[in-house]
Amino acid sequence: MSDIAILKEMIKETATVSLEDDPYGKNLEDDTYGKNQVILREPPPANYYVTIKGMPDDDDVIIINADKFKSPDTVFKGNRGECKRADFVIVANTNKKKIILCIEMKAGKGGSQTDINEQLKGAQCFVAYCREIGQSFWALPNFLKGYEYRFVSIRNITRKTQTRIDPNHDLPSNIKMLKKSGSSFQFNDLVQGKR
């Protein structure tokens, strides 16, 4: 059983986001149409969204709404941001890459750099918790091993601005900053590593 299949067995469907068919999407490998996309939505009162096109096939990816994971503030004090988490986590295991993409979205400039770093670290801790569950309760010592992390902060979603991509975003402090009106991004652009 693949890591993705185990995560889909482990995590409730109400905490995941489904892929959608993108009838206008272009499959870069064989130049056909119909590639997958996902729409990441922030519910009201925020009420904005981002579309990520060119997503892997359903068997190769899971999109988790990390906000559904209750804050651990009943146990932790939260003085260092340990109760925060980013909005979404995408785990992909394709023939080419094993990626864990942590995404924090802001409608405006929103949040300090420190606050966003803490949210991204919280998402990384959520994945570590899932890894431990898989290793302990599924008895799979290599569960979620060998994945590369990518951390993305998407800001100014409702305003038209320039896009700036920093290729060094493999640590929460090295966030890939994207500023664009609430439209869309390509999955491959978000997961590209150091150049």
pLDDT confidence bin for 98, thresholds 50/70/90? very high
CB 90 within 8 A of CB 150: no
- Residue 47: its pLDDT value, please? 77
Average pLDDT of the chain? Answer: 82
Quick: pLDDT tens for 137-167: 999 999 999 999 999 888 777 654 334 444 5
The pTM for the full model equals 0.84
Mean pLDDT over 77-90 rounds to: 86
Q: What is the distance, to the nearest Å, from the Cα of residue 179 to the centroid of all Cα atoms in its chain?
A: 16
pLDDT band at 22 (very low <50, low <70, confident <90, very high): confident
Is 167 within 8 Å of 192 (Cβ atoms)? yes
Share of the chain above pLDDT 70, in %: 79
- H/E stretch holding 131 reads helix 113-137
Highest mean pLDDT range out of 38-47, 87-96, 162-171? Answer: 87-96
User: pLDDT category, 131, cuts 50, 70, 90?
Assistant: very high
Question: What CA–CA distances, in Å, run from 171 to 20, 100, 159, 185?
Answer: 29, 11, 27, 20
Closest CA to 102 of 153, 35, 157: 153
